[in-house]
Structure 1
Amino acid sequence: MNKSTFFYLLLLSLVCFAVTPRALAEQAVPKLQGKLMQGSLIRGETKAGSKVWLNDKVIRVSSDGYFVMGFGRDAALTHTLSWQHQHMPARDSMQLVLQKREYKIERIEGVPSKYVSPPKAVLDRIRQENTAIAKARKTNSELRDFLSELIMPAKGRISGVYGSQRFFNGEPKRPHYGLDIANKTGEPVVAPIGGVVSLAHDDMYYSGGTLIIDHGFGVSSTFIHLDKIHVKVGQRVEQGERIADIGATGRVTGSHLDWRINWFGTRVDPALLVD
């Protein structure tokens, strides 16, 4: 064997080693965008045609490799993200470690007693409204608006934050899952990103004027305590488009917008998605 043949075979063996399935898989770890902490919405990108799992639960992946996942207020701090690219024999995985968060306590007095402990006469109404909200949040459309950068849906003072534990008239209630923006009734509410309206209700018992917009792949925005709603179910809206007016409807002590974001049934923090 002459010297040139030897070096050719050596180079060929190195190239073959470099492109083994395992090496290719390790070079194609999914890219993640977002803050790894409780309450976060994480957007991801992997190779087209790949499969993705979060803690062994299948995650929807677009044809070109985009996906999204959310972690709730009190989510466990460690999770396993797995993926399998096309033509790869097995899954690869990595551990996701979330930052633990501390939440503030809010005490709100002067709330009408019927909203703190609703009378039995309205329990059926509340159940029906909760069912409608849950149905809207189960939407798993092919929209890709969730990949866009979000803008604030309204101007005003931040009067309430995600995760805070609220006491109404001294009685502990569920944590708050939205971002409250205080401003006067009639001020505009705009779409933080594009999407399709999946629920529009003028007067729910707790949330008053309520609007939900689907952004795709299980991601939705909810806007509550609205004075007026300017869009209807099935309507396409674009980022920055006026969709409603700030109000003081439902269980409130003042005029404000309560803005929430969900990944299916998981409530995440809107503040982590805006600058």
Structure 2
Amino acid sequence: MNTSPAYESPEGLRRLLLRLHRAGGDVWRHDAEAADLLLFTIKKYGALARTHHLDAEDVAPIALENLRTRSVREALDPWGALTRAVQRAIIAEERGRGLLCSPDRARKRDVSSHHDAYRFGERERLADDLPALTTSVDFDDAARTAKGLVDRGVQVLVEVFRVCDWARDVAETGIELVVGRLADSTSRGTAYEYLRRDPTTRSQLDISQRSWLAMLRCLLGSQNPEKANTWAGRGALHAVLAGMSARDLLLIDDVVRPLVAGAPTEGEHSD
């Protein structure tokens, strides 16, 4: 009867990593069980790598680097710690390739918030796709005129909200209400102030003021002038109109952290 290798369990992996660590030197180069473990990680994380446009074999050096760390070796769940580390590294690798920089640099917030670099000739009709963002027209005008672009952006934003623990119906309704108000307003700031004070709009969602403000700040940005040129200041609506995907937005702490903190809790209602 075939039995699974001991390292497939958290405790088995911990024992193996401790043995290899104590052996030191070039043990990873010559140990048969270590080689089997790396092959196992390729199978385990290969699908994740392909999802992020990497080859399954790219997992091996990423896994090896993290398997040799103390944080994985001494974690309560070594496999869980390794999975999170590999996922972060794979995402950073993909972002680095898209941004034409190193994975370490792609992890930095001020870099990861940018969209992938477009090579010359790769997007011949970029100006047609984003007319309001390639001319002097403000993005508020884009929200009022480029309906197809906004409709796509709404769906991207709904997925971001869902990942951040918001119910789909609340997210979809709320985003559409905000976009509708923006279309009728003279500016993003005007729309923000109207919605912040308007109890009727919020009551349609049946969420608390805390959650409502989190949604507004995410979509329309901070109204603090000092943050005007940051993603936090511009807002997620601006980001999706600029071509950012849900995956891109989820890498921006200024988008994710407030949404997670402001997600409506079970049983929470408008107050």
Structure with the higher fraction of residues in helix conformation: 2
**Structure 2-normalised TM-score?**
0.26
